[in-house]
Amino acid sequence: MPDTGAVAENAPLNPLSPYGRSKLMTEWMLRDTAAAHDMTYAALRYFNVAGADPMGQIGQSTANATHLIKVACQTALGMRSHIDVFGEDYPTADGTCIRDYIHVADLAAAHTAALRYLRAGGESLVANCGYSHGYSVLEVLDSVRRVHGRDFAVGTGPRRPGDPASVVANSALARSELGWVPRHDDLDGIVAAALRWEEILARKNSSRD
């Protein structure tokens, strides 16, 4: 639960979920291995990966996924009856949670930048990958409506345990140390790529039936 604005790499580490704890344990193992052996590493912390390959060749294909943008796109395309908003009383402008969504193509570029950094002799580092600003749940749903051009059913539900009101990355380190330059910092563009991928995936699944 960050008590500041954008989360920097030196923020206190207190994961609220088993998923988060597993990532922290991995960072501990990397750090300890690097201390014991001749190894350097780059650990990239992802902030809500979304979108799909701009060429439409690959995208998120996990069954029963719970990611907001994927679920919203599936709902807009009629693959789900509705989408629920969990909590409308957070201390944000519209009462819903704010997250920093990063296009998967920018995240792929961060990986290649990290490899170049290490191959050039860079020291071990941990770096955030995000755009340093976020969008609320309702803003994401509005983007899906805007890009798709149609409305869809939205329900409401109680807050989910462990959901912070706002989590946004401070990505200054990745930009300065890795030379990472995001090129897809546009919510409507992320949503458009996600919608295209869901349509492609539906056609692929239909052809297999």
Residue-wise pLDDT for 11-30, tens only, equals 988 887 888 899 999 999 99
pLDDT score for 20: 86
CA distance 63 to 14: 29
Show the tokens assigned to 86.
């969990």
Confidence bin at 67 (pLDDT 50/70/90): very high
Q: What is the pTM of this model?
A: 0.91
CA distances from 186 to 36, 51, 151, 190 (A): 42, 10, 21, 6
pLDDT tens-digit readout, 33-42: 999 999 999 9
Confidence bin at 209 (pLDDT 50/70/90): low
pLDDT score for 204: 78
pLDDT at 49 over 90: yes
Q: Would you call 117 a catalytic residue per the annotation?
A: no
pLDDT score for 28: 97
Other residues' Cβ atoms within 10 Å of the Cβ of residue 120: 7
The sign of the dihedral angle between the CA atoms of 146, 151, 156, 160 is negative
Confidence bin at 4 (pLDDT 50/70/90): low
SS3 86: strand
Which one from 19, 41, 46, 90 is the annotated catalytic residue?
Answer: 19
**Amino acid letter for position 72:** A
Mean pLDDT, rounded, of the chain: 93
In order of start, what are the domains of the chain with their CATH numbers? 18-208 (3.90.25.10)
